Structure 1
Amino acid sequence: MLDKALILIAARLNDFIHKRVDLDESIVEVASPVSPDGVMPVEANDKVLLFVANISKDTLTKAQHYKTVQSGSVRHREPLHLNLYIYIAANFHPARYSEALSFLSLAIQCLQECPIIDRSVVADMPKGLDKLVLDIENTDLNEVSNLWGILGGKYLPSVFYKVRMLTLQTEGVVSRIHPASTPQPSLSN
């Protein structure tokens, strides 16, 4: 589910950028800015990278989910609503710094013009994804510095987004709730 959400956002950004810039290849890639050994991967050069910075549970949605059936009610496990925090970073050679900023600006413009991705925008959205809402998030210099320090890489021009309402739904029944019945008195002598 997480991969599908990021791939969908990357495809949306690529479509937007390709309509404005003549390119032979995808410029936006879902990729980590550093490999596990701390080196920037070669395949990430001259790309706009889309990667996860954090995942959290959305605590605003707390409704119980019941379904009435003939023999009473069935309680289903609540869907898990996630917020995904992503970075969009321009990883270009220093000689192409202004081009990096241009591509990052186009990515921001795309998500400003269409911050909601749903079936009205993308008809063939992957199963399990109903709607993604992208909000730009403010990050202070310390937070940005901490993130890039944790990643072990050099700072890249980047913007931070919160992707709301990624919902994971389980299919199983948690419990059956049987209706209360009227007690029947015993008539024994």
Structure 2
Amino acid sequence: MIHNVITSIAQRLDEFIKNKLSIKADTVIVSNLVDIKGNLNQDIENKVTIFLLHIEEENITKNTSMKYSIGETPPVKVNLLVMFSAYFPNFNYVESLHYISLVIEFFQINTTFDDSNTPGLPISANKIKAELFNISIDEINKLWGNIGANYLPSVSYKFKHIIFDGETITQDIPKIV
């Protein structure tokens, strides 16, 4: 289900950027920034790249008074921490900043995602809330070092309240290229 959530929101973001800039070329890719050998992925050039930073259990709603039958396991609610980075090589740093600004604008306008406004999103996803996620300078330094890439203009968001109930039927959607 995680792949459906991220790729569905990526498709909406891609359409938003293409409409804003009046372009036809794809602008968003769901991908690693570097390959297993530490080489920069060439597919991310001149695009916004989306990648998963972390999955955390949603603890606030965990202790709600929902009733379950004996032997039934309660659903697991998770939050996805997702990074959006823009890589425009050479002297196009300003373009990277422009694209990151468009990502922020997109999420300012679109704070909630569900199956009615985001094609490909699983019906069981209910309402996914997107909120800006702050990462400290020290954490961001460690993060980019662990990724194995130099810092790129980026912004992080938390996608909240994704429910895994064990009986969810999901469909795969096409890969974002």
Alignment TM-score, normalising by the size of structure 2 = 0.87
> What amino acid is aligned across from residue 17 of structure 2 in structure 1?
I
Does the 8 A contact of 2:115 with 2:123 survive in 1?
no
> Is the partner of 2:156 in helix, strand or coil?
strand
How far off its partner does 1:108 sit? 0.6
> Quick check: 1:76 aligned with 2:78?
no
Superposition map of 1:1-189 within 5 A: 1-61=1-61, 62-63=63-64, 64-66=66-68, 74-122=70-118, 125-171=121-167
**C-alpha offsets along residues 86-145 of structure 1, whole Å, 9 cap, x if unaligned?**
100001113211111111111110001111112342365324322211110111111110
Cα distance in 2 between the residues matched to 1:25 and 1:131: 29
**Counterparts in 2 of 1:51 and 1:123: CA distance versus 1, 3 Å:** closer
Cα distance in 2 between the residues matched to 1:99 and 1:87: 18
Which stretch shows the higher mean deviation, 130-139 or 114-123? 114-123
Greater strand content? 1
- Residue 178 of structure 1 is matched in structure 2 by none
Cα distance in 2 between the residues matched to 1:108 and 1:136: 8
How far off its partner does 1:24 sit? 2.6
Cα distance in 2 between the residues matched to 1:7 and 1:23: 20
The alignment yields a C-alpha RMSD, in angstroms, of 1.8
> Is the partner of 1:108 in helix, strand or coil?
helix
How far off its partner does 1:22 sit? 2.3
Cα distance in 1 between the residues matched to 2:122 and 2:25: 23
Cα distance in 2 between the residues matched to 1:30 and 1:160: 14
Does the 8 A contact of 2:5 with 2:121 survive in 1?
no
> What amino acid is aligned across from residue 129 of structure 1 in structure 2?
A
Give the number of aligned pairs. 166
Larger radius of gyration: 1
> Is the partner of 2:96 in helix, strand or coil?
helix
* Runs of at least 5 residues in structure 2 that lack an aligned partner in the other structure: 168-177
> Is the partner of 1:32 in helix, strand or coil?
coil
4+ runs of 1 displaced by more than 6 Å? none
**C-alpha offsets along residues 21-77 of structure 1, whole Å, 9 cap, x if unaligned?**
1223210111111111111111111110000111111111224432xxxxxx55521
> Is the partner of 2:82 in helix, strand or coil?
strand
> Is the partner of 1:20 in helix, strand or coil?
helix
